């Protein structure tokens, strides 16, 4: 079997995992349930993943990679300021794209497990430092332009991404629309960067 076929089949299994996790949480995820959702045999799932934990970790990593790709695609060709790049990244994270919403639901489903599993926590939060660095840089630029006076760029960056995390949880739980989340984030950024 070609490497591409293997990756496609593993992705198919991961997508089934995401659907189950989004519908009913990780408690509903078992090798048997994922196999049924993916339309493959239990043996096929076990062939690719030595354990449920390995399958969960692969699914989480793949969701993160796809989100990174969507953010990169959005930023590619965007000839804008660092502030515009930050806003575009946040719009993708809080957006109404079906794949983004699925990734958000997957991440939220894994939060409880991340409290006990360092590897899952590392995957969930791996990009946070890079994204916070971008936000801090944007605040510093605003300060150099006479805006954002008196603010601590590092703290503001943490607040911006903490707000994004909180809004994504509300989105995943259906408590907030993407439009409301985006409006809230724009309101906050406008206040910080005024």
Q: What are the tens digits of pLDDT across the range 75-92? A: 787 777 899 989 988 998
Long-range contacts at 185-188 (CB < 8 A, ≥ 24 apart): 185/90, 185/94, 186/87, 188/159, 188/160, 188/163
Do 189 and 129 sit in the same domain of this protein? yes
pLDDT at residue 63, as a whole number: 86
Task: Say how many C-beta atoms besides its own lie within 10 A of residue 185's C-beta.
Answer: 19
Q: Is 176 helix (H, G, I), strand (E, B) or coil?
A: coil
Describe the crossing of helices 52-75 and 3-24 by its angle, rounded to 10 degrees.
Answer: 100
Do 27 and 100 sit in the same domain of this protein? no
pLDDT at residue 188, as a whole number: 97
pLDDT at residue 27, as a whole number: 81
Q: Give me the tens of pLDDT residue by residue for the chain, a chain 194 residues long.
A: 676 689 999 999 999 998 888 888 788 789 999 999 999 999 999 999 999 889 989 998 998 888 888 888 887 877 778 999 899 889 988 987 888 888 888 888 888 889 999 999 998 888 888 889 999 999 999 999 999 999 999 999 999 999 999 999 998 888 999 999 999 999 999 999 98
* Domain harbouring 30, CATH code: 1.10.10.60
Written in H, E and C, the secondary structure of 26-47 is: HHHCCHHHHHHHHCCCHHHHHH
Both tokens assigned to 138 = 């944007």
For the stretch 162-194, pLDDT in tens is 999 999 999 888 899 999 999 999 999 999 998
Do 22 and 75 sit in the same domain of this protein? no
pLDDT at residue 47, as a whole number: 95
Number of domains in the chain: 2
pLDDT at residue 1, as a whole number: 62
Q: Are 164 and 90 in contact (CB under 8 A)?
A: yes
Q: Are 95 and 178 in contact (CB under 8 A)?
A: yes
Do 161 and 71 sit in the same domain of this protein? yes
Structural domain span for residue 71: 64-193
Describe the crossing of helices 52-75 and 98-114 by its angle, rounded to 10 degrees.
Answer: 140
Do 43 and 70 sit in the same domain of this protein? no
Q: Is residue 38 part of a domain?
A: yes
* Dist CA 161 CA 131 (whole Å): 8
């Amino acid at each position: 079997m070609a490497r591409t076929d293997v990756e496609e089949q593993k992705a198919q299994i991961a997508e089934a995992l995401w659907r189950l996790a989004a519908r009913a949480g990780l408690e509903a995820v078992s090798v048997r349930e994922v196999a049924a959702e993916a339309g493959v045999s239990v043996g096929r799932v076990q062939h690719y993943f030595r354990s449920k934990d390995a399958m969960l970790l692969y699914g989480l990593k793949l969701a993160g990679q796809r989100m990174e790709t969507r953010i990169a695609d959005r930023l590619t060709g965007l000839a804008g300021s660092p502030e515009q790049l930050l806003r575009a990244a946040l719009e993708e994270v809080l957006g109404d794209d079906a794949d983004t919403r699925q990734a958000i639901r997957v991440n939220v489903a894994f939060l409880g497990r991340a409290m006990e599993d360092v590897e899952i926590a590392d995957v969930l939060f791996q990009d946070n430092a890079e994204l916070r660095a971008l936000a801090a840089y944007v605040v510093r630029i605003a300060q150099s332009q006479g805006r954002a006076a008196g603010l601590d760029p590092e703290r503001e960056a943490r607040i911006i991404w903490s707000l994004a995390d909180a809004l994504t949880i509300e989105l995943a739980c259906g408590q907030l629309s993407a439009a409301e989340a985006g409006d809230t984030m724009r309101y906050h950024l406008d206040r910080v960067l005024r």
